[in-house]
Amino acid sequence: MSTKTKSPRSMTRRDLLKGATTAVGAFVCGATYVAGPNAAWATEMDALKPETFATLVQMARDIYPHDQIGDEYYVAAVKGYDKPEEVDAISAGIDALNDKAREMTGLEYASIGWERDRVDVLRAMEDDAFFQRIRGGLVTGLYNQKAIWPIFGYEGESFSKGGYINRGFDDIAWIG
Amino acid sequence: MTAPFDHNDDSVVVIIGTGAGGGVLANELAQKGVSVVALEAGGRYLPEDYINDEWESFGQLAWLDPRTTSGDWRVAKDFSGLPAWIVKAVGGTTTHWAGASIRFQDHEWKARTTYGEVEGASLLDWPIDGTEMAPWYDLAEKKLNVTRTNGNPGLPGNNNYKVFEAGAKKLGYTEVHTGRMAINSRDDQDRLMCQQTGFCFQGCKWGAKWSSAYTDIPEGEATGNLEVREKAHVARILHNEAGKVTGVEYFDENGDLQMQKARIVCVAGNSFESPRMLLNSASNMFPNGLANSSDQVGRNYMRHMTGSVYAVFEQPVKMWRGTTMAGIIQDESKHDPSRGFVGGYELETLSLGLPFMAAFLDPGAWGREFTSALDQYENMAGMWIVGEDMPQSTNRVTLNTEVKDQYGLPVANVHFDDHPNDIAMRNHAYERGAAVYDAVGATRTFPTPPYPSTHNLGTNRMSENPEDGVVNKWGQTHDIENLFISDGSQFTTGAAENPTLTIVALAIRQADHIAREMSAGNL
């Protein structure tokens, strides 16, 4: 399969996106910081290049997309990789992701407009150790953040409140 | 002599492990005046120490020493270093268990006779039966204060149960109730009644659920006849030239090798560690490991045919509220080969918190198919499937000499392939479980694969003939008269029921036997 052959669809999308990469590449990156597109979050970088980290955050959201969860939780989920001993591994992984993205779409990963096209790139590398490491880390890094539990309705610890014996353990109303 | 006992005191019974088997055996022997040293690999955690947080609790209680896996079971792919979700602590996995306490059905003691020959399976009848076990089950139900026995009311149904029950009744199931649970449905035995807190798997902070950690162990210690040595990790069991066991070598809390002499040794380290200890005790006299002249040690590993079904509804369920497993459908537990498999299965309510749901709903899955399920977490109901799996001699625990634990001892490798009967039963159960939820308006259902095993059985199985298994009907090894197996590894077959009640009943019975034989001078 030649990587030089572009499908009509990707050509069309590329044309559409031409000149719009700053809008699509949603993260604002400075020399030592990265900020979300809506200024909802910004974080100082300790080790990773800001654009590397921004791509990692986008990758995290695309792996476990929850539209009701803000970027700050995905940032928190992968911030642990922003340290000197991880720079080589993470940079290499994100470089490979961008290589695959360019090969498949002509764009860098974070500049691809539709989630489905980014997911196609991820699917193409889901057996790689880098992808599996990031995905595996997110299972706890994202879902074990207590701050997101209420967004899913999960109530967490209940012993200190006396359990649910007087707080609705059997309060379901819609079942017979 | 009263506890603590001298390391050179060779009159003591040494019990390895303090869970449903070892913990109960230790107390029962202590109550009869027998001196017992119990060696427990884990530390001691009590209700005030338990944590209502899934991952934090897992870090506190779970057995996380290295193990390896092989075979076609999905656990080997998803959780290759974690074949089991069991506990390393005083009380063993009785801290984590859900409390479901149901007896074997009579025919399940005679699986080979009832089911006939099943290709690829190493089925065997137990050398005991339901009549033999009935009085011991009575004692076990009293000890565990099981609901719906001894005049104890059932637990009230929680939200998850109400969905489950309504669906079951629409399908015409009739054996549907909130279970026979070792969880107090009223204040009793100096323990509180269930406060519907959830987190049954993380240790019951009210002590409403029976665990040997805060019942049998302290009761035994109060007699002065039981000494529990915590953080004592057994390396090997020693024997003399006559082929009788004489003591146990273990690493203490500081990593120093210690030796405790023994009159009798009882092994109750769950179905990976128990065979591992026997295999790691190989000597010139017993080059294949202790009690292994049959080459059966480690074989016939069973883990129950399991799986889960979760379902999403239009409106909230909040399944995590209340008792985790107080709900059962027993109609499918019968043996009815017209379904396309032998043996049967139970359906039991189950819930996971959001963090564990993310880890276990569909391990390895990602993308919107997965996250849109979690988005409906509040509207989910859940059930667990537990059925009889086929023993296979190639499903086995062996020593992996390539991988060593923190003490330099070869770790257990756990090999498991599903038997076609297991697969047929699981597919049937997935279909029935989904039908239960569809009957009450589920918009989406999930046939969730098995978790790391909590029911680990059969690696030192009980047999009439010494060549077919490792222990006789008392749990006494065929080869060495003063070496006993006291945990679920002695199960000949797994039956459809959660195993703890049967492990406890066997331990009470074994204690009676050992004490009697000691008095008679036979041991």
What does the pLDDT look like over B36-87, one tens digit per residue? 999 999 999 999 999 999 999 999 999 999 999 999 999 999 999 999 999 9
Mode of pairing for the β-strands spanning B305-312 and B444-448: antiparallel
Q: Mean of the pLDDT values across residues B262-272? A: 98
On whether any CB of chain A is under 8 Å from the CB of B171, the answer is no
Poorest-pLDDT segment among A22-36, B220-234, B276-290: A22-36
**Running DSSP on this structure, what letter comes out for residue B193?**
P
Residue with structure tokens 């990469």? A21
Interface A:B, Cβ pairs < 8 A: 115
Rounded to the nearest integer, the mean pLDDT of chain B is: 98
Count of CB atoms situated within 10 Å of the CB of A16: 11
Domain boundaries, chain A: 47-144
The alpha carbon of residue B497 is apart from the nearest alpha carbon of chain A, in Å, by 26
pLDDT grade for A17, boundaries at 50, 70 and 90: very low
Per-residue model confidence (pLDDT) at position A39: 66
Cβ distance A172 to B377 less than 8 Å, yes or no, reads no
- Residue from A123, A140, A138 nearest A56 by CA: A138
Task: Please list, in sequence order, all residues whose beta carbon lies within 8 angstroms of the beta carbon of residue B373, skipping any fewer than 6 positions away.
Answer: B310, B312, B361, B362, B444, B446
- A 109-138 residues with CB below 8 A of B? 119, 122, 126, 135
Q: Which of A144, A146, A151, A160 to mutate to probe the B interface, most B CBs <10 Å? A: A144
Per-residue model confidence (pLDDT) at position A20: 36
Residues of A whose CB is below 8 A from B359: 139-140, 143
What is the share, in percent, of chain B residues with pLDDT greater than 70? 100
**Running DSSP on this structure, what letter comes out for residue B218?**
H
Residues of A whose CB is below 8 A from B353: 154, 156
Per-residue model confidence (pLDDT) at position A29: 81
In the predicted model, is pLDDT for residue A18 greater than 70?
no
Whole-number Å distance between alpha carbons of A104 and A101: 5
Per-residue model confidence (pLDDT) at position B1: 66
Cβ distance A139 to B359 less than 8 Å, yes or no, reads yes
Task: Give the total residue count for chain B.
Answer: 523
pLDDT grade for B236, boundaries at 50, 70 and 90: very high
Strand-pair partners of B412: B399
**ipTM for the complex shown:** 0.95
Per-residue model confidence (pLDDT) at position A158: 98
**How many Å is the maximal CA-CA distance in chain B?**
70
Q: Mean of the pLDDT values across residues A50-63? A: 96
Angstrom CA distances, A142 to A146, B51, B326, B354, B360, stand at 9, 20, 30, 11, 15
Burial of A23 (0-12, 13-18, 19+ CB in 10 A): exposed
Per-residue model confidence (pLDDT) at position A1: 36
Residues of B whose CB is below 8 A from A158: 52, 197-199, 321
Q: Are B268 and B19 in contact (CB under 8 A)?
A: yes
pLDDT grade for A34, boundaries at 50, 70 and 90: confident
Cβ distance B440 to A175 less than 8 Å, yes or no, reads yes
Q: Are B133 and B505 in contact (CB under 8 A)?
A: yes
Beta sheet of B233-239, edge-to-edge order: B233-239, B245-251, B257-261
Q: Which of B170, B368, B379 to mutate to probe the A interface, most A CBs <10 Å? A: B368
Q: Are B208 and B195 in contact (CB under 8 A)?
A: yes
Q: Mean of the pLDDT values across residues A137-153? A: 97
The more confidently predicted of residues A114 and A16 is A114
Per-residue model confidence (pLDDT) at position A35: 83
Per-residue tokens: A79: 């911030």
pLDDT tens, position by position, B372-422: 999 999 999 999 999 999 999 999 999 999 999 999 999 999 999 999 999
Point out the residue among A165, A172, A176 whose CB comes nearest to the CB of B195.
A165
pLDDT grade for A8, boundaries at 50, 70 and 90: very low
